Amino acid sequence: MKKTITMTVNGQIMKAEVEPRTLLIDCLRDQLGLSGAKVGCVVGKCGACTIILNGLTVKSCMMFAVQADGAEIMTIEGLAGDGELHPMQQAFTDKSAVQCGFCTSGMVLTATQLAKDHPNASEEEIKDAIGGHICRCTGYVAIVDAIKEGCKRMSEQQG
Amino acid sequence: MAKKWVGTSIKRKEDASMLTGEATYVDDMQLPGMLHCAILRSDYAHANIKSIDVSEARKLPGVIDIITGEDVKEYPLAAAVEFAHFDLKSPVKQAYLLAVDRALYAGQPIAAVAAVDKYIAEDALDLIQVHYEPLTPVVSMEQALSEDAPLIYEEWGDNVQMQVPSKAGDVDAAFAEADRVIKVKIGEHRYCAFPLEGRAAIADYKPRTGKLHTWISSQASSAPRANFAKTLKIPEQNVSVTVPHVGGAFGTKLNWSVETIPCLLSKRTGRPVKYVENKIETFTIGPHARDYVFNGEVACKNDGTILGVKADVMFDLGIESSYRGTAIAKCVILLKTFLGQYKIKNYSFLSRAIVTNKAFQCSYRAFGKEQGSRFIERIMNIVARELGISPEEIRLKNYIQPEEFPYRTTSGALYDSGDYPGTLKRVLEMADIPSLRKEQARLEEEGRYLMGIGIASFVQPSGSAVPDGYLNGMEGATLKLLPEGGFILSTAHCTLGQGIETTLSQVVADEFTVTPEDVRVIIGDSDKAPYSSGGFASRGAAWVVGAAVTVSRKLKEKVLRFGAHVLKVEADEVELKDGKIQVKRDPAKSVSLHELATSVHFWPGAIGVLPDEFLYTDPSLDATAYWTAPNPPVSWAAPINLYCTHPNGAEVSTILIDKETGKITVPKRFVVYDCGTLINPDIVKHQYIGGALQGINGILNEELCYDENGQLTTTTYMDYLIPGSHEMLGETVFEHQETPSPFTPLGCKGMGEAGTFCSVSSVMNAVEDALGITITKTPLKPQTVLDYVKEAMEKGTLNRRREW
Amino acid sequence: MRPAEFEYHESRTVEEALSFLQLRGDEGVKVLAGGLSLVPMMKLRLAQPAHLVDITKIPTLSYIEESGNGGLRIGALTTYAAVSGSELVQKRCPILAEVTGILGDPQIRNVGTIGGNISNADPASDIGPMALALDVEMGIAGPQGRRTVKAADFYVDLFTTALDAGELLVEIVIPPLPSQTGFSYTKLNQRRADMGIVNAFSSVTLDGDIVKDVKVTVGAVAATPVRALQTEKILKGNVLTDELIVEAANAAADGIKPETDVHATAEYRTEMVKVLVKRTLTQAVKRAR
pLDDT along chain A (159 residues), means of 10: 95 96 97 96 92 97 96 96 90 97 97 93 95 97 97 86
> In chain C, which residues have pLDDT < 70?
24-27
Percent of residues, chain B, with pLDDT higher than 70: 95
CATH of the domain at A132: 1.10.150.120
B chain contacts of residue C104, beta-carbon cutoff 8 Å = none
Is the model's pLDDT at B35 over the cut of 70? yes
| A39 with B732: Cβ contact below 8 A | no
Say which amino acid occupies B216. I
Percent of residues, chain C, with pLDDT higher than 90: 92
Looking at A32, A57, A77, which one is the last position of a domain?
A77
One domain for residues A106 and A150: yes
Q: Pick from A19, A43, A132: which is nearest to C106 by CB?
A: A132
CA-nearest residue of chain C to A132?
A: C105
Q: Pick from A42, A67, A132: which is nearest to C105 by CB?
A: A132
Q: Pick from A22, A43, A102: which is nearest to B717 by CB?
A: A43
More confident residue, B634 or B128: B128
C chain contacts of residue A67, beta-carbon cutoff 8 Å = 32, 54, 56
Distance (Å) from the alpha carbon of B575 to chain A's nearest alpha carbon = 34
- In angstroms, the first-to-last Cα distance of chain A is 50
Q: Domain count for chain A, please give it.
A: 2
Does some domain include residue B524? yes
CA-nearest residue of chain B to C198?
A: B661
Q: Report the alpha-carbon distance of residue B211 to residue B671 in Å, rounded.
A: 50
Does some domain include residue B175? no
Q: Report the alpha-carbon distance of residue C29 to residue C26 in Å, rounded.
A: 9
C chain contacts of residue B781, beta-carbon cutoff 8 Å = 190
One domain for residues A71 and A92: no
Percent of residues, chain C, with pLDDT higher than 70: 99
At C188, which helix (H) or strand (E)?
Answer: strand C181-188
Task: List pLDDT tens digits, range C216-272.
Answer: 999 999 999 999 999 999 999 999 999 999 999 999 999 899 999 989 999 999 999
What pLDDT was estimated at residue B802?
Answer: 57
Looking at A23, A42, A77, which one is the last position of a domain?
A77
Percent of residues, chain B, with pLDDT higher than 90: 81
One domain for residues B116 and B257: yes
| B20 with A79: Cβ contact below 8 A | yes
CATH of the domain at B261: 3.90.1170.50
Does some domain include residue B585? yes
Cite the DSSP H helix spans in B287-353.
329-337
Contacts of A41 (CB under 8 A, 6+ apart): A48, A134, B196, B279, B716, B717
Looking at A77, A98, A119, which one is the last position of a domain?
A77
What pLDDT was estimated at residue B162?
Answer: 87
Cite the DSSP H helix spans in B608-680.
612-615
One domain for residues B266 and B234: yes
Q: Domain count for chain B, please give it.
A: 3
Q: Would you place residue B94 in the very low, low, confident or very high pLDDT band (cuts 50, 70, 90)? A: confident
Q: If 0-12 CB within 10 Å is exposed, 13-18 middle and 19+ buried, where does residue B313 land?
A: buried
Is the model's pLDDT at B768 over the cut of 90? yes
Average pLDDT over residues B214-228: 94
What pLDDT was estimated at residue B606?
Answer: 56
- Name the residue among B223, B253, B655 with its Cα closest to residue B455: B655
What pLDDT was estimated at residue B88?
Answer: 67
Average pLDDT of chain C? Answer: 94
| A36 with B21: Cβ contact below 8 A | yes
One domain for residues B82 and B126: yes
| B663 with C192: Cβ contact below 8 A | no
One domain for residues B492 and B575: yes
One domain for residues A21 and A67: yes
Instruction: Tell me how far the alpha carbon of residue B34 is from its chain's centroid.
Output: 32
One domain for residues B656 and B619: no
Q: Which domain holds residue B412?
A: 289-465+636-795
What pLDDT was estimated at residue B799?
Answer: 65
Task: List pLDDT tens digits, range B667-677.
Answer: 999 999 999 99
CA-nearest residue of chain A to C192?
A: A131
Q: Pick from A34, A104, A140: which is nearest to B725 by CB?
A: A140
Contacts of B508 (CB under 8 A, 6+ apart): B479, B487, B489, B514, B516, B519, B548, B552
Task: List pLDDT tens digits, range B349-367.
Answer: 999 999 999 999 999 998 8
C interface test, pick of A22, A67, A73, A134 with most C CB neighbours within 10 Å: A67
Is the model's pLDDT at B470 over the cut of 60? no
For chain C, the residue count is 289
B-C contacts at Cβ under 8 angstroms: 55
One domain for residues A72 and A96: no
C chain contacts of residue B661, beta-carbon cutoff 8 Å = 188, 272, 275
CA-nearest residue of chain B to A99?
A: B497
Is the model's pLDDT at B420 over the cut of 50? yes
Is the model's pLDDT at B169 over the cut of 70? yes
What pLDDT was estimated at residue B641?
Answer: 79
C interface test, pick of A5, A19, A21 with most C CB neighbours within 10 Å: A21
Distance (Å) from the alpha carbon of A145 to chain B's nearest alpha carbon = 12
Does some domain include residue B341? yes
One domain for residues B685 and B608: no
Q: Which domain holds residue A114?
A: 87-158
Distance (Å) from the alpha carbon of C178 to chain A's nearest alpha carbon = 31
One domain for residues B621 and B641: no
One domain for residues B618 and B673: no
One domain for residues A56 and A31: yes
One domain for residues B449 and B490: no
One domain for residues A149 and A100: yes
What pLDDT was estimated at residue B632?
Answer: 53
Q: C-alpha angle with apex B583: B578 to B588, nearest 5 degrees?
A: 70
One domain for residues B647 and B622: no
What pLDDT was estimated at residue B469?
Answer: 45
Does some domain include residue A82? no
| B724 with C262: Cβ contact below 8 A | no
Q: Pick from C4, C192, C197: which is nearest to B123 by CB?
A: C4
One domain for residues A124 and A103: yes
Cite the DSSP H helix spans in B467-622.
500-512, 545-567, 593-602, 612-615
Looking at B627, B657, B690, which one is the last position of a domain?
B627
Distance (Å) from the alpha carbon of C166 to chain B's nearest alpha carbon = 28
Q: Are B99 and B49 in contact (CB under 8 A)?
A: yes
Distance (Å) from the alpha carbon of B787 to chain C's nearest alpha carbon = 9
One domain for residues B340 and B489: no
C chain contacts of residue B119, beta-carbon cutoff 8 Å = 2-3, 5
Q: Would you place residue B77 in the very low, low, confident or very high pLDDT band (cuts 50, 70, 90)? A: confident
Is the model's pLDDT at B804 over the cut of 50? no
Q: Are B641 and B633 in contact (CB under 8 A)?
A: yes
One domain for residues B646 and B618: no
C8 reaches A (C-beta below 8 A): yes
| C106 with A129: Cβ contact below 8 A | yes
DSSP track, B373-440: HHHHHHHHHHHHHHHT--HHHHHHHHBPPGGG-SEE-TTS-EE----HHHHHHHHHHHHTHHHHHHHH
Average pLDDT of chain B? Answer: 92
Q: Which of B105-109, B659-663, B714-718 has the lowest mean pLDDT?
A: B714-718
Is the model's pLDDT at B633 over the cut of 80? no
Q: Report the alpha-carbon distance of residue C212 to residue C235 in Å, rounded.
A: 9
Is the model's pLDDT at B2 over the cut of 50? no
Looking at B627, B644, B659, which one is the last position of a domain?
B627
CA-nearest residue of chain A to B733?
A: A141
Does some domain include residue B663? yes
Q: Are B788 and B797 in contact (CB under 8 A)?
A: no
Q: Say if residue C225 is preceded by a cis peptide, omega within 30 of 0.
A: no
Distance (Å) from the alpha carbon of A70 to chain B's nearest alpha carbon = 24
ipTM over 0.95: yes
Does some domain include residue A125? yes
Other beta carbons within 10 Å of B576: 19
Is the model's pLDDT at B346 over the cut of 80? yes
Looking at B285, B309, B344, which one is the last position of a domain?
B285
Q: Are A52 and A108 in contact (CB under 8 A)?
A: no
Average pLDDT over residues B545-567: 95
A chain contacts of residue B15, beta-carbon cutoff 8 Å = 92-93, 98, 101
Distance (Å) from the alpha carbon of A42 to chain B's nearest alpha carbon = 7
A42 reaches C (C-beta below 8 A): yes
What pLDDT was estimated at residue C179?
Answer: 92
Distance (Å) from the alpha carbon of C187 to chain A's nearest alpha carbon = 16
Ramachandran class of B499: left when φ > 0, alpha when ψ lies in -120 to 50, beta otherwise: left
C49 reaches A (C-beta below 8 A): no
Q: Pick from B122, B661, B724: which is nearest to C188 by CB?
A: B661
Is the model's pLDDT at B184 over the cut of 80? yes
Other beta carbons within 10 Å of B786: 22
One domain for residues A72 and A91: no
Distance (Å) from the alpha carbon of B361 to chain A's nearest alpha carbon = 20
Q: Pick from C7, C81, C102: which is nearest to A20 by CB?
A: C7
Global pTM? 0.95
* DSSP category for residue B11: P
CATH of the domain at A15: 3.10.20.30
A chain contacts of residue B195, beta-carbon cutoff 8 Å = 100, 102, 136
CA-nearest residue of chain B to C268?
A: B783
A chain contacts of residue C39, beta-carbon cutoff 8 Å = 44, 62-64
3-state secondary structure C156-178: EECCEECCCCCCEEEEEEECCCC
Contacts of A92 (CB under 8 A, 6+ apart): A98, A104, A107, A108, A111, A143, A146, A150, B15, B19
CATH of the domain at B644: 3.30.365.10
Task: List pLDDT tens digits, range B434-458.
Answer: 999 999 999 989 999 999 999 999 9
Q: Pick from C44, C191, C265: which is nearest to B724 by CB?
A: C191
Task: List pLDDT tens digits, range A113-131.
Answer: 999 989 999 999 999 999 9
One domain for residues A103 and A136: yes
One domain for residues A13 and A40: yes
